[in-house]
Amino acid sequence: MTSPSDKALVPFVSVDNMMGLVHALGIETVLTELASFIEADFKRWPEFDKTPRVASHSTDGVIELMPTADAENYGFKYVNGHPKNMKEGFQTVTAFGVLSSVANGYPILLTEMTLLTALRTAATSALVGKYLMPKGAKVMAMIGNGAQCEFQAKAFQAICGIDTVRLYDIDPVATAKAARNLAQSGLTIVPCTTGEEAIEGAQIITTCTADKQYATILTDNMVGPGVHINAIGGDCPGKTELHRDILLRSEIFVEYPPQTRIEGEIQALDATHPVTELWQVMRGEVAGRTDARQITLFDSVGFAIEDFSALRYVHSKIGGTSFFDLLDMLADPDEPRDLFGMLNRAAP
């Protein structure tokens, strides 16, 4: 992508360019292709360096670094989570990320990841849904109609074939926004006024609310047999969405147990409570859903490998397009040891 003479220039995908890229490719294509990249990386899980994300918690939120690497590339995402932000006109979640060459440590991509996180979270949810949802599921309840909501709806439509989304949010303005944005999606959109109404007839329930507390978005009596729950919003210590009794009735599937035990719904359970790792399901080594009456729960917190896949995907797509700029981000003297000389040459 960069020629040898500009080896120190780093491709940078701005928010504008990310929007251009997604529109040029089509959001369904992006979600479907992203899901294949994530699936391919989950299937080679043992090849990655893995660690729970490095989180810096404060009263109002969290700032996290999410690193991982394989033999070829190193990637990390910087991401925040501040539920109070939305009321002050800021995003709850914003992010950017870097992909580097392991061979020489040079970054090969710097990109916005606020949009990309919404896309990769939705692609991951729908990919997992493909493995765990009951056969022929067509209706999804979507509780929490904020920034992530429409991405989730589009991904489940493109990857799992749902045709109806039942929306609920404590703030009707959010539900109206999501209904408006999804009006031309080809999905049947049903705005609801309670969580109970939203889950009526739904085979998939997605919870995607933001509140820094042990919330109870779903109570035990709301969840019938055979349902797949895609629980996205509980992704931080002290922040969950489901009543504990639901967890006790569910088969629980997670990304990376050392991180999910700290951040996911399962922080409400004993540290030895059995969970199944999704990469093993995707490799066919352990079963996913085994019977129609089972409640399956994806306790999603978001793991670094999903961001690595997303970075890899964007890097693979921007070559030959105009959807990136080149950043002069790395000092690169002609003689590698003459860094000081390079500085002096810039003296006025």
Q: Which of 235, 245, 328, 332 is catalytic?
A: 235
The residue number with the shortest CB distance to ligand NAD is: 146
Under a CB-based contact definition with an 8 Å cutoff, are residues 126 and 72 in contact? no
Is 235 a catalytic site residue? yes
**Contacts of 60 by beta carbon, 8 Å cutoff, 6+ apart:** 82, 83, 84, 212
Q: Which is nearer to ligand NAD, 75 or 144 (CB)?
A: 144
- Which x/- pattern over 120-139 shows residues binding ligand NAD (rule: CB under 6 A)? -x------------------
Question: Within the chain, where are the H helices?
Answer: 15-25, 27-42, 114-132, 149-155, 172-181, 195-199, 244-249, 257-263, 278-282, 304-318, 339-345
Contact range with ligand NAD by CB under 6 A, out of 15-23, 100-108, 282-290, 296-304:
296-304
Residue 326 burial (CB count, 10 A):
13
Which residue's CB is nearer to ligand NAD, number 73 or number 121?
Answer: 121
Name the burial class of residue 332, with classes exposed (0-12), middle (13-18) and buried (19+) by CB atoms within 10 angstroms of its CB: middle
For residue 46, the minimal CB distance to ligand NAD (Å) is 22
Q: How many residues does the chain have?
A: 348
Residues 137-196 contacting ligand NAD, CB under 6 A? 143-148, 169-171, 174
> Largest alpha-carbon pair distance within the chain?
75
Is 264 near ligand NAD (CB under 6 A)? no
Contact set for ligand NAD, span 231-260 (CB under 6 A) = 232-233, 235
Nearer to ligand NAD, 119 or 318 (CB): 119
Q: How far apart are the first and last CA of the chain?
A: 34
- Least distance (Å) from ligand NAD to the CB of residue 176? 11
Q: Identify residues 192-221 at the interface with ligand NAD (CB under 6 A).
A: 208-211, 215, 217
| Minimum gap (Å) between residue 144 Cβ and ligand NAD | 4
Q: Decide: 212 and 238 in contact? Cβ < 8 Å.
A: yes
Phi-psi region of 300 (alpha: psi -120 to 50; beta: other; left: phi over 0): beta
Pick out residues in 66-105 that bind ligand NAD (CB under 6 A). Answer: 81, 86, 92-93
- What's the min distance (Å) between Cβ of 177 and ligand NAD? 9
What is the size of the binding site for ligand NAD (CB under 6 A)?
A: 28
User: Least distance from C-beta 211 to ligand NAD, angstroms?
Assistant: 5
To which H or E segment does residue 78 belong? Answer: strand 73-81
Choose which of 73, 80, 117, 203 interacts with ligand NAD (CB under 6 A): 117
CA dihedral 289, 291, 297, 302 (to 10 degrees): 10
Active-site residues, by number, are 235
Site for ligand NAD, rule CB under 6 A: 81, 86, 92-93, 117, 121, 143-148, 169-171, 174, 208-211, 215, 217, 232-233, 235, 300-302
